[in-house]
């Protein structure tokens, strides 16, 4: 009787999995079909399981369940990473000291980008809020209307011009953006033609209160962005986050599911959380998703109202620190090699081992657009 019950349960499970496999990706169907056929061969003509075949059949069911669950772990299913235009290139991280002089900040950023390009960088990243002091009082004063054109936005006008002149891609750190009656913390991405490729508004606002250490609430002046940002560039598919966005692993997972090969986080961690969390979070986002993570911070100014931790860094897809610096001004040049992503994903096939029967990442934006 037990054998009949086990057979019934297993047959029902396989029927369900057969239906699931019909909507699975084509790479799964041949193996699924083979395992189902293999199961049926373990059943004798009386309709019961051969004693020695019971464990084998259950193993087959477990294998089918594992394959089906990995297919369901991302909703919609993960997008394949596109073949990047180049597989190896140099990235430049420009850790800059920010002052109250906006024109000086813009000129200083331009000079740093030029130096990074001279050193071979094809992708250059600037810090969070590089044209303004980091304070709620400063954001409204230094904010620019990016959509109104370069006359209203000298910071992005410089980024566009220098990207075109140097034939590079720029992740433009972030600046305070004015849009109507709202202010945002915004990162602009420019391609080698000088055209705006993407604009990311910081999704997770930095509201923190550690008594006796630091209290800061971006939400007093800034509005949170509503859209995750991924952009195809001349140096690969890149996901964009700003500072506090790095604390939310779901966003990085979403970018990985959309085929990102690199996530860039302009950020300005502080002297309380920086020593403990800055490198830890970068390595976590990189190793969890098996991709590159690059961060760029302002240099430390002990006299500023908000003191940045610094330590701009590039992390590889195995969680290794490839390049970093301390807290002073610096331009870091390091190589990104996308073949390392495939190597690490082959070594540790996390994508194939996810348990979609237990948990799922839902990309609401992609799901609602289907």
**Could you list the active site residues?**
128, 202, 243
C-alpha separations of 143 from 132, 138, 151, 179 in Å:
8, 8, 13, 9
Half-sphere exposure of 117 (CA within 13 A, CB side): 17
Estimate the crossing angle of helix 249-257 against helix 274-289, to 10 degrees: 30
Please provide the distance, in angstroms rounded to a whole number, between the alpha carbons at the two ends of the chain.
47
Nearest to 200 by CA among 217, 181, 221, 186: 186
The partner residues of 336 in beta bridges, in order of sequence, read 89
Q: What is the CA radius of gyration of the chain?
A: 25
C-alpha separations of 261 from 174, 256, 340 in Å:
21, 7, 10
Cis omega (within 30 of 0) for bond into 194: no
DSSP 168-224: -EEE---EEEEETTEEEEEEEEE-TTS-EEEEEE-SS--EEEETTTEEEEGGGT---
Query: Cβ contacts of residue 57 below 8 Å, gap of 6+?
Result: 10, 39, 42, 43, 49
Estimate the crossing angle of helix 54-72 against helix 29-41, to 10 degrees: 160
Three-state SS annotation for 70-116 = HHHCEECCCCCCCCCCCCEEEEEEEECCCCCCHHHHHHHHHHHHHHH
Cα–Cα dist 96/127, whole Å? 7
């Amino acid at each position: 009787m037990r054998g009949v019950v086990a057979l019934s349960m297993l047959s029902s499970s396989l029927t369900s999995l057969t239906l699931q496999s019909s909507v699975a990706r084509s790479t799964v169907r041949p193996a699924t079909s083979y395992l189902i056929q293999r199961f049926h061969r373990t059943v004798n003509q009386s309709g019961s399981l051969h004693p020695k075949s019971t464990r084998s059949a259950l193993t087959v069911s477990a294998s089918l369940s594992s394959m089906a669950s990995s297919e369901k772990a991302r909703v919609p299913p993960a997008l394949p990473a596109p073949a990047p235009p180049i597989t190896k290139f140099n990235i430049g991280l420009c850790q800059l000291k920010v002052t109250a002089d906006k024109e000086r900040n813009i000129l200083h950023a331009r000079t740093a980008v030029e130096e990074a390009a001279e050193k071979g960088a094809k992708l250059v990243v600037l810090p969070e809020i590089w044209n303004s002091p980091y304070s709620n009082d400063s954001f409204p004063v230094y904010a620019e209307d990016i959509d109104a054109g370069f006359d209203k936005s000298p910071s992005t006008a410089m980024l566009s011009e220098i990207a075109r002149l140097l034939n590079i891609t720029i992740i433009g750190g972030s600046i305070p953006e004015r849009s109507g009656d709202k202010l945002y913390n915004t990162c602009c991405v420019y391609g080698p033609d000088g055209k705006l490729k993407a604009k990311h508004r910081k999704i997770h606002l930095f509201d923190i209160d550690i008594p006796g250490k630091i209290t800061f609430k971006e939400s007093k002046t800034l509005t949170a962005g509503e859209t995750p940002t991924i952009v195809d560039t001349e140096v690969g598919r890149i996901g964009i986050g700003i500072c506090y966005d790095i604390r939310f692993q779901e966003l990085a997972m979403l970018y990985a599911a959309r085929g990102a090969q690199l996530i860039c986080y302009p950020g300005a961690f502080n002297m309380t959380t920086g020593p403990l969390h800055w490198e830890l979070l970068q390595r976590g986002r990189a190793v969890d998703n098996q991709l590159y993570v690059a961060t760029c911070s302002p240099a430390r100014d002990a006299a500023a109202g908000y003191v940045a931790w610094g330590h701009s860094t590039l992390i590889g897809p195995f969680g290794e620190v490839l390049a970093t610096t301390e807290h002073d001004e610096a331009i870091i040049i390091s190589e990104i090699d996308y073949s390392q992503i495939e190597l690490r994903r082959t070594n540790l096939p996390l994508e194939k081992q996810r348990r979609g029967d237990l948990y799922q990442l839902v990309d609401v934006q992609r799901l609602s657009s289907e």
